Structure 1
Amino acid sequence: MIDKANLLSKFEQINEYWTPKIIAELNDQYVKLAKLKGEFIWHDHENEDELFYIVKGQLHLKFKDRDDILLSEGEVYVVPAGVEHLPIAEPECWVLLVEPKSTAHTGSIQSERTVQVEDQNWI
């Protein structure tokens, strides 16, 4: 557990896209940082909400059952549990995520993009 962290310096330690890194935990939740670029995969989290806070850049969230959302620096959005979404970041986007510890990176979808929680090392 950390006492305090500088988010910008933590982001500088991240060298991979779409690979969240845990920076804190609270109330059975992880706080994660990730650098995003390009298109991810369609997925949902059946039982967990997922909070996106945009630190740098923009994130386009596409949905199958509602209007798309474009998030810019300083904006936050919670994708409700069970809502299928496709994150797209062009150009690079830095995002802070807050989600239950049980949240699987790509929900029930397993692909080459899936990162297991044990591989989302603390930074």
Structure 2
Amino acid sequence: MNINEQLKTIKDYYSPKIIGEVNDVFIKLVKIQGNKVPWHHHKNEDELFYVLKGSLVFEIENQEPFTMKKGDLFIVKKGINHKVSSKKECHLMLIENKSALHTGNVISEITKSINNQK
């Protein structure tokens, strides 16, 4: 599989696409632009972010925001309240437990069911 070819099939921002499974985790690709991801956490799951293109502003509750750029990786531990945004188009790979909802404990306009991520 070619990640760039998979990214071309994603037309909408904030719409993760499952591209594979490894044991009990999904590998997802997503494009974001703007600030629609709500503050949220994952009660029982860690979440891995890997920036493929662009830059990502990462906010963690009670900490200063930081910017990730192409090639950067960050793991959010379970229970940590966080949100992400990007001024320009940003492409991400996410690795999440199959049980994780991509907007965690919050249902918002961008929340997609697992079936809508395939």
Provide the TM-score with structure 1 as the length reference.
Answer: 0.91
Q: Which runs of 4+ in 1 moved over 6 A?
A: none
CA apart distance, 1:107: 1.1
Tell me the amino acid that sits aligned with residue 86 of structure 1.
K
CA apart distance, 1:64: 1.3
Tell me the amino acid that sits aligned with residue 90 of structure 1.
K
User: What residue in structure 1 maps to residue 111 of structure 2?
Assistant: 114
- Describe how 1:12-31 pairs up with structure 2 within 5 A: 12-31=8-27
Tell me the amino acid that sits aligned with residue 55 of structure 2.
Q
User: What residue in structure 2 maps to residue 81 of structure 1?
Assistant: 78
CA apart distance, 1:6: 0.4
The runs of 5 or more residues in structure 1 that have no matched partner are none
Partner of 2:4, secondary structure, is helix
Give the one of 2, 8, 29 matched to 1:6.
2
Tell me the amino acid that sits aligned with residue 68 of structure 1.
P
- Describe how 1:48-87 pairs up with structure 2 within 5 A: 48-87=45-84
- Whole-Å separation in 2 of the counterparts to 1:78 and 1:67: 16
Deviations along 1:11-63, one digit per CA (max 9) or x if unpaired, are 01100101100001002000000001101211111111110000000010111
- Whole-Å separation in 2 of the counterparts to 1:100 and 1:67: 27
- Describe how 1:83-102 pairs up with structure 2 within 5 A: 83-102=80-99
Tell me the amino acid that sits aligned with residue 110 of structure 2.
R
- Whole-Å separation in 1 of the counterparts to 2:3 and 2:107: 29
CA apart distance, 1:69: 2.1
Q: Which deviates the most, 51-60 or 107-116?
A: 107-116
Partner of 2:104, secondary structure, is coil
Tell me the amino acid that sits aligned with residue 78 of structure 1.
I
CA apart distance, 1:106: 1.0
- Number of residue pairs aligned between Structure 1 and Structure 2: 117
CA apart distance, 1:78: 0.4
Tell me the amino acid that sits aligned with residue 95 of structure 1.
L
